DNA sequence: CACCATGTTCCTTG
DNA sequence: CCAAGGAACATGGT
């Protein structure tokens, strides 16, 4: 369930549940998700550690812990990949089929499951340090955004997915932001004008913030058997039916554009689907 | 069987 | 060295 807004909502959900809890036992079912940390070091470090806090950075979760018998702090880095989920469940519950790591916190287990195992839970925090700015970072001005776009001839949609350029934008919200900004996903990044850069950055922030606000108001079911935790897919999760209407272009190929009624088009860019309105979103200014 | 999927990383090519 | 394109990772849904 992975773009910035979903990770943000998850962080706020987990933070109060984890704070102060001590890890009694560690079970690793898929060593791959720890990479590059070894299972031995992972277990040794986490056993007896206490959760102090939880932050989000881009699509990453940063769990702040205190080492057992020490005042030394350290971080655990989490990423949900495409299909990862993290939640607390009673220790008596059977582990889910694709459980990757289970941390016993006493009466509850912290479960990290991931069907495709693309995600990570690791002591190596370096990935978070390579990220570009958060979209609404005050120091990340439209001018700086444009300066970064200037260095590439790739389509602007592809650059929005570059986590070192701007952190947290994924395939869904990239299409949504471009639609809101009236910019074609095919426009070359180095042809984005100052005006367009400002509009696009604003659109990214707005789309992200609205998704966070929306996700925060939906009764989330991170551990339910039926729900896969994808609260932004209304069709899959009943309670969020109205949310899917927030997505104006994503997965709407052939459907009428909300602004002009002409059909939404699907194209492939960098091996990913992009959805846009060829009439409302201009290739050039 | 075919194709699709919210992400990142590695390898190759130019 | 760099930018860009594509495959790989692994599983499940339609």
Judged by C1' against the alpha carbon of A3, the nearest nucleotide is: B6
Q: In chain A, where does the domain assigned CATH 1.10.8.50 lie?
A: 142-276
C-alpha to C-alpha distances, A150 to A59, A86, A112, A190, A203, nearest whole angstrom: 24, 38, 39, 4, 19
Is 0.85 topped by the overall pTM? yes
Nearest to A159 by CA among A185, A195, A130: A185
CATH code for A142-276?
A: 1.10.8.50
CATH code given to domain A4-129: 3.20.190.10
**Spacing of A261 CA from B6 C1' in Å:** 26
pLDDT computed for residue A214 by the predictor: 82
Could you give the residue range(s) of every CATH 3.20.190.10 domain in chain A?
A: 4-129
Residues of A annotated catalytic, as ranges: 2-3, 59, 272
The pLDDT of residue A243 is 52
What positions of strand B are covered by protein, i.e. any atom < 7 Å from a CB? 4-9
Residues near strand C (C-beta below 7 A) are: A 32, 97-98, 115-118, 151-154, 158, 270-271
Kindly report whether the peptide bond that precedes residue A36 is cis, defined as omega within 30 degrees of 0. Answer: yes
- Would you state the pLDDT for residue A228? 38
Q: How many Å from the CA of A158 to C1' of B13?
A: 19
User: How many Å apart are CA A38 and CA A18, to the nearest integer?
Assistant: 24
pLDDT at A240: 44
Residue segments in chain A with a per-residue pLDDT below the cut of 70: 1, 216-244
- Specify the pLDDT at position A229: 39
Cα distances (Å, whole numbers) of residue A243 to A86, A201, A228, A236:
22, 22, 16, 11
């Amino acid at each position: 369930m992975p773009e910035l807004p979903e990770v943000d909502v998850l962080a706020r959900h987990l933070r109060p549940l984890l704070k102060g809890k001590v890890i009694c036992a560690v079970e690793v079912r898929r060593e791959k998700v720890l990479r590059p940390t070894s299972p031995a070091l992972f277990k040794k470090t986490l056993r007896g550690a206490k959760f102090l806090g939880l932050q989000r950075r881009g699509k990453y979760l940063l769990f702040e812990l205190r080492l057992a018998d020490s005042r030394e702090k350290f971080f655990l880095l989490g990423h949900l990949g495409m299909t990862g989920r993290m939640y607390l469940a009673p220790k008596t519950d059977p582990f889910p089929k694709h459980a990757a790591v289970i941390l016993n916190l006493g009466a509850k287990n912290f479960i990290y499951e991931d069907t495709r195992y693309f995600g990570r839970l690791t002591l190596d925090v370096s990935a978070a340090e390579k990220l570009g700015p958060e979209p609404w970072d005050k120091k990340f001005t439209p001018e700086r955004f444009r300066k970064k776009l200037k260095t590439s001839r790739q389509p602007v949609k592809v650059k929005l997915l570059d986590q070192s350029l701007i952190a947290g934008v994924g395939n869904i919200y990239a299409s949504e932001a471009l639609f809101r900004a009236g910019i074609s996903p095919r426009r070359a990044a180095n042809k984005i004008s100052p005006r367009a850069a400002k509009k696009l950055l604003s659109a990214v922030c707005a789309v992200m913030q609205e998704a966070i606000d929306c996700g925060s108001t939906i009764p989330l079911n991170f551990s339910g058997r039926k729900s896969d935790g994808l609260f932004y897919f209304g069709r899959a999760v009943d309670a969020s039916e109205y949310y899917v209407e927030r997505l104006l272009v994503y997965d709407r190929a052939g459907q009428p554009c909300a602004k002009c009624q002409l059909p939404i088009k699907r194209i492939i860019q960098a091996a990913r689907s992009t959805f846009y309105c060829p009439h409302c979103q201009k290739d050039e200014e």
